[in-house]
A and B are shown apart, each in its own frame.
Chain A
């Protein structure tokens, strides 16, 4: 192996994980999962991979070759080697290009497939080039990867929104003029060239002047703040707990910066009419708004990972644990502060801007899309919690943010696997389910089945999240207290308990839901058979007699239409009282049902005959009573069957 290839292998090793994650994201993004636009809905989460990879993943790849040198404090060592700085810069740029080029190509194709870009394809390419260049220069200015990414985001957030506004104003007949596209592409290309040149100049003249030459602007003083804030943020000789909070304020400096940026971006989006009430124009400019949401997502991830990640980078974390304050308290302070920061910066700021604008126009919620507020909140908190967990597991902010994404993917995959396993097990245990079905009285509402059937999506999510959340908190607490092993293998091992819990939880929930669903289906099946038999009897009676109350037995029903053995079993010795009804209904005039205690479904009348409205009571010898009410569609062969059992 030559000396040059040894150096390249070192660079490749450092970039391998983020590059693999970004590329995997790109491949996933090639398959369009949702075209519903950008929302916080869990269903559309996968659609976020594309802009996330493009606007965060690729700039991150560009920032890492230099950012890693700052993070591991190896730049001084590198610069002291007998190599010309120009060669070092060339080497860094080569590796950056090698990492960014395939990823950019992949994402551009994904863009084309997903958003059906045609005119804007090359424009998107130029934006990626500009962001890459901005990321490199930003890393040198901020002296950290995250700082570089934050500065790059600043460019994206404001620059892209401003450009979009201009593009919208020049748009004619739904098309952006080619002159505008080409001229802005030229400007962006020049901008990128200037940034690369400035970055090279900065690198060639770089002086690691202070002791740690650490995270540049992150460590800069609080001189931009008013005096009272500066004074408050200064640590005092008394009040350890408050000092911990002050420390957290400083540690999340990048989050505050991005929050400010997010505020300006959302404000500009509204001022430039790129987001309009009731989302009616959202589709027309999805990228700027999507970018602003990505910024909020980035804030949520950073709020969770920055504090502990930076402490681990600097080496202060272990020392903090030796102070006479319970490490558990320190853990709680970090976690709660991270969650609060996430709520404030990733949720309250964007929502605050949108709601304020809506309030000015008289309808506070008119500027929000159709996603409920709590979904924004929960998803931001989950992102923060996940990033916090990752920062406890691995060393450094960048690693924590990077680790969060495959972790999210792995948990999702584990959930799908658990569900598939649950359905598979139930399919294989069909005889057992059949036995169970034959034991559940279809004319008595089973509480267990009702409980499961009646669960809403929120409850399912809560049942799934609760054990996972508890395990994640316990595990992160343990990892926080023993911050020693940061090997990748150890980090992978840490994920096993969470993945196992996810698989088990989804398996359990899928099994229970599947069994409950099948039981309910069988109940409905028996009721349908009884209904069909009553309809047949009523239809034939109607031809000869006037409407009157009738009493039937199970044998009567079995003679009218063939009944399954299960239906015969449950109807045996039952007293069935049927009262013909004159009324017919349409869908809009149907009464509301009390789900899950009452069921309603479309049911056919007797074969070849008009459906007849009736109400019936089935009293079984076991004491259960079930009321059926059937409203025939006027002149039709079917109607609406309502079933409510005690």
Chain B
């Protein structure tokens, strides 16, 4: 494997549950050291994609490589280099928190006890408590600790913040992801799916938006922010009806016109300015707004 080898390369992946196609012809590449977001509505195919990546599901067609390795052929090699947090976290009910972490540690060559203790303290998890007695959020916290401590090259997170309270969510993003990516062992890659896009706004380097199993948009986060702009214009009277090429959506609220532009922001801005608005502002869209605008359009 060379430095240029992507952490994940998915080419033309198709998977179906019976006759229902969950993922259709999906292609994406995640470079090492990046935080890659997989966004989509419920049932868009995010979890299916991740399960294919982990060789839990056998794709109907397409190719998957993790660090250049085929998970269907060298499953264990792939799994040695990644840690996964599923969307529905479950533990053995008889095990305590301590025992659960020991159990997961036994499968790993490396386990960072310092990070483990640090995160246990931060999440205020009692290591003698039984896993069956943990709340949904606490179980997610425990799963995150189990995923971060082995310090693998790739972290695959399926809805990692669902069930977490806002404080823990922020803590998780700032501390857990931060601690993971700032580690000494080399560039660490994160591949995550989430609904709560705004929470990961500053972390995501690149993303793909899935809709009904199809990739509708794949962009670098910065490029997306450059490309997708929100143009707001306030007029003295009823806003004019404009026909604008490159506009994803045009919305009129009272005397205000709100346009979401996809790559054609300067031309649209010029066109709107020509209508002499009282006020005109242009701002970048957040990733969540891009997600909503893309799926609505």
Contact = CB atoms under 8 A, between A and B. Distances in A.
Interface in A313-329: 314-316, 318-319, 321-327
B106 A318 contact: no
A234 interface: yes
Categorize the interface residue count of chain B. Answer: 35 or more
Given A239-B106, A327-B75, A322 B56 contact: yes
A324 to B, nearest CB: 4
Contacts, number: 104
B86 interface: yes
Given A211-B133, A221-B94, A321 B56 contact: yes
Interface in B103-119: 103-108, 111
A281 interface: no
B168 interface: no
Contacts of A235: 95, 99-100, 102-103, 106
B79 A210 contact: no
Contact of A318 (B56, B130, B138): B56
Contacts of A215: 93
Contact of A237 (B51, B75, B105): B105
B132 interface: yes
B56 A482 contact: yes
A247 B134 CA distance: 19
Given A212-B132, A234-B102, A314-B93, 18 more contacts: A211-B133, A219-B132, A222-B94, A235-B95, A235-B99, A237-B101, A237-B102, A237-B105, A237-B106, A238-B105, A314-B90, A315-B90, A318-B56, A325-B107, A482-B56, A482-B58, A485-B17, A485-B18
Contacts of A438: none
Interface in A342-395: none
Given A211-B135, A325-B76, A318 B86 contact: yes
A316 B95 contact: no
B106 A243 contact: yes
A322 B103 contact: no
A484 B17 contact: yes
Closest 8 CB pairs of A and B: A315-B90, A219-B93, A235-B103, A324-B79, A237-B105, A324-B80, A240-B106, A210-B133
B38 to A, nearest CB: 17
Contacts of B51: 318, 484
B102 A319 contact: no
Q: Which of B93, B108, B138 has the most CB of A within 10 A?
A: B93
A472 to B, nearest CB: 20
A222 B130 CA distance: 12
Contacts of B133: 210-211
Contacts of A325: 76, 79, 107
B57 interface: yes
Contacts of A520: none
B123 interface: no
14 contacts: A218-B94, A219-B94, A234-B102, A235-B95, A240-B106, A243-B102, A250-B92, A253-B94, A316-B90, A316-B91, A319-B90, A322-B84, A482-B56, A482-B58
A214 B132 contact: yes
Given A236-B102, A237-B106, A484-B17, A316 B84 contact: no
Contacts of B84: 319, 322
B135 A247 contact: no
Contacts of B106: 235-240, 243
B58 A240 contact: no
Interface of A: 210-212, 214-215, 218-222, 234-240, 243, 247, 250-251, 253, 314-316, 318-319, 321-327, 482-485
A254 to B, nearest CB: 12
B88 interface: yes
Contacts of A211: 132-136, 138-139
Contacts of B105: 237-238
Contacts of A316: 90-92
Contacts of B101: 237
Contacts of A482: 56-58
A315 B58 contact: no
B145 interface: no
A238 B92 CA distance: 18
A247 B103 CA distance: 9
A239 B103 CA distance: 9
B215 interface: no
Contacts of A319: 84, 86, 89-90
Nearest to A222: B94
